[in-house]
Each structure stands twice: as C-alpha cells, then as structure tokens.
Amino acid sequence: MADDVLTRSETLVSSRHAGLSGRFDVPGDKSISHRSLILGGMAIGTTRVTGLLEGDDVMATARAMQALGAGISQDEDGSWIVTGVGTAGLVSPEQPLDLGNSGTGVRLLMGVVAGLPITATFCGDESLSRRPMARVTDPLAQMGAAVTSRDGGRLPVTVTGAQTPLAADHVSKVASAQIKSAMLLAGLNARGTSIVREPHASRDHTEAMLRHFGATVRQRLEEDGTHVVELEGEAVLTASDVIVPRDPSSAAFPMVAALITEGSDLLIPGIGMNPLRTGLITTLQEMGGDIEISNERTEGGEYVADLRVRHSQLHGIDVPAERAASMIDEYPILAVAATQAEGTTRMLGVAELRVKETDRIAVVADGIFAAGGTVTYDEDSITVTGGGVAGGMSIDSQHDHRIAMSFLTLGMGSDQPITVTGCTTINTSFPGFAVSMNGCGAALAIAGDS
C-alpha cells in the first residue's frame, strides 16, 4: 500500500542520500512498446508482446488501437496479445481517440489513419493539446489525407485518410522519428515507394519493426549526410512476436543518479543499445562517467546489454549538435549531471526540446537556476557550469515526466532537498519510479511526511 501511495503522490521531495546499490530494473522501451501495438494491430494474425511498458502513454495507444478495431488483451503470464486485423480491417472509431499525454502515440496513429479510408478525431490532455501537430499533419495532407485542427495545428485534430494514399517524397527539416514514422505508416497502403529524407538519422525503431512484420524498408546515407528511408507501399504485414527491451531513456535517471551520488555501484540490466539511442551513454563516458557495458546480446531482434554504473567525478564537455537525435529525450537529465561536473558542459543543436511536453530548454534552465546552478540558454543550446547546486526549492513538472524525474534526481546531489510537484505524470513512462529508486537507496518521500 505504501508503494502505491508513493507512486500516486502528486508531490515528492528528493534528498541527498548515501548512494545507490543493487539491481535497478527499468521498464520496457516506450518507443518500441507503442510500435508493437500499432503494427501488431495492422498485421494479419496474432502477435505476442513480452516486456511491454504498461505506462499511461502506451495504455492510451492500446485503447486507441482497440477503438480502431484491433484486439488487445493481457495474458495470464503478463504478456500482451495483439490480434491484428490487417490494414483493411481497421475502422473509424465511434469516439475521439484520447491519447492523454502521448505525443508519440498521437502522431504515429495520425499516420495510420491518414493511409486508410477511415476518419478519426484525436484529442489529449492539456499538455498534449499545446503541442504542435502541423509538422506531422502537413506532410500527411500532401499524401492525400484531409486534416482539420485547432489554430496552430493543435488538438483536437480530425484526420480523414485518402481512398488511395499518395506515396511520399518528403524532405524533413529536422531529424524526427515521429514525423518519419507517421509518414511511413501512412505509406503502407500507398502505391509506389514512400521516401523520407532527414538531415541526419533519427531513431529507427519504426523501420526495424516494419521489417520485423514483413514490410520492405531500405535506408541509405547520401554524400551530404542526408539520411534517406524508403518504404515499398501496398505492404501486407504478418503477425510476429515482439520482445521489448528495457528503455534506455528511462535508464538515464538511475544512471545519472548513481554517477552523482557518492558510494553508488548500480547494475541496470537488459537495456536497449540501439546505436541511435545511446548518445547519453557516450556523452557520460566522455565526461568521465564509470559506465561498464557487459553481457551484450540480441533479444527479439534488438541489441541489449547490462550496465554497471559507479559514482564518478564528471567533467564538462561540448556535446556536438549531430548527437542530438540519439539522445533528444535525455538532455534534461544530462543537464542535471552537468551541474555536478567540473567545468562547463555545452549542449548544442537542441531546438527540438522546445516542442516536447514543455519547452524543455527553458524549464530545465530555469529550474537549475532556481536551485542555485549556473546556466545559460538560447533557442538551440543549453550551457551548464558545474560545481553543485544548493537546492532547497520547488519546481512544477508542468505535466512533463522527464522534467519531474530529472529534478528528483537533482535533489539526490543537491545540498538541500528539492520538491517536485506534478509527479503523477511520471506514470506515463516509468510507473514505480520512486519505489524503484528508494529500493536501491534513494530518499524520495511524499511531501509533508516526516
């Protein structure tokens, strides 16, 4: 009961502690979990998904796929069964699809609907309703979908798919897995080959899973560095079981917590090590972080490994802009690590952070400054000078799970405790975060408890 109360608490206080030790099991990868439900539902046959993240975001995607006609249920052994109906079997939902706080879920599902002769209205919570959707809906409209939305391309959005979707040849100004994935999903029913060009590679879980379900996908790198993905349309997907690795974005929080707290020696097993997701590990190692990678293996078609993380004295570095796509969700927690490092850490090319659950550049920088840290920022960068923070402050997560977990982690290395409000949003990606942290030695408490 106490664990459940901690998990559901709106306000938590994080204090310095003696260090983290033991084994820390992070939940399944959120990106792969979303895609396994979506593509499993679009395939013909039954797909068993093991290790699915059962956070609020993924459950919202599960409910949306059910509303679109797929069968989704949990087996007695804890795995999830997806009964696919093929793309032709998906239907217009009777009610709007409420994706809660899930930007990934809503944008990928817009792609699904855009490629089919069906109509769906998408809505979400207050935070998701502020996030821009035109960067996805505009290219989907070029493929033949009809889109209506609130001013600024914001939710609620109604998408009516094309009777015969047009194959795309889209040049994206940013490397975004969500834009790319939406277009590839819409292109499954198009005649011809859909092409998405990015300035550099974004995470490729959609491409890998499309192949896993039988689609033909090609990737290449052009001489100017442009990353090109091609999908052959009129694809028939066939059910195929999925083993979801543990999420490297979720592993970022115990990893940094162990690095910045004296006496820590923590094992984090089974982490997905897709090269397009490991930018934070590379960066922390360059900063002097003692992160040992072992037991490297392939599970369910994904490269995974165990991480052993020990307390380390970090030093500041310049994080190159071209690394941003491989760690875009990890910059808030990297900024926390940078507060504890010697010297200055410059994070470049991070403008994409401005269109996440919050303007993460501003929220992270303002929070670090309020905690007594030294930080500057502009439209595309954050610079943190280390030396520690005083803490003794409160911050509102603003419905952003990564902000909440980052500042709870900062409290573990600050002189005075840090209070974070809006902590229930953590359940979107990491149910049981506070319980798991405390199980390894952290001191997260409900505000007001003695």
Rounded CA-CA distance 344/321 in Å is 16
Rounded CA-CA distance 11/424 in Å is 8
Report the candidate in 217, 222, 169, 161 with the shortest Cα–Cα distance to residue 196: 169
298 has which bridge partners?
A: 303
The H or E element containing residue 243 is strand 242-243
Q: What phi and psi values does residue 155 have, to the nearest 5 degrees?
A: -65, 150
CA distances from 78 to 51, 74, 341, 387 (A): 8, 6, 41, 45
Rounded CA-CA distance 328/198 in Å is 15
Number of other residues whose CB lies within 10 A of the CB of residue 450: 3
User: How wide is the angle at C-alpha 374 spanned by C-alphas 437 and 21, nearest 5°?
Assistant: 20
How do beta strands 146-150 and 21-23 pair? unpaired
Q: Please list, in sequence order, all residues whose beta carbon lies within 8 angstroms of the beta carbon of residue 226, skipping any fewer than 6 positions away.
A: 197, 198, 199, 200
Residue 75 annotated in active site: no
Residue tagged active-site, from 56, 57, 98, 329? 329
Do the beta carbons of residue 37 and residue 413 sit within 8 Å?
A: no
Rounded CA-CA distance 140/127 in Å is 23
Please give the positions annotated as active site.
329
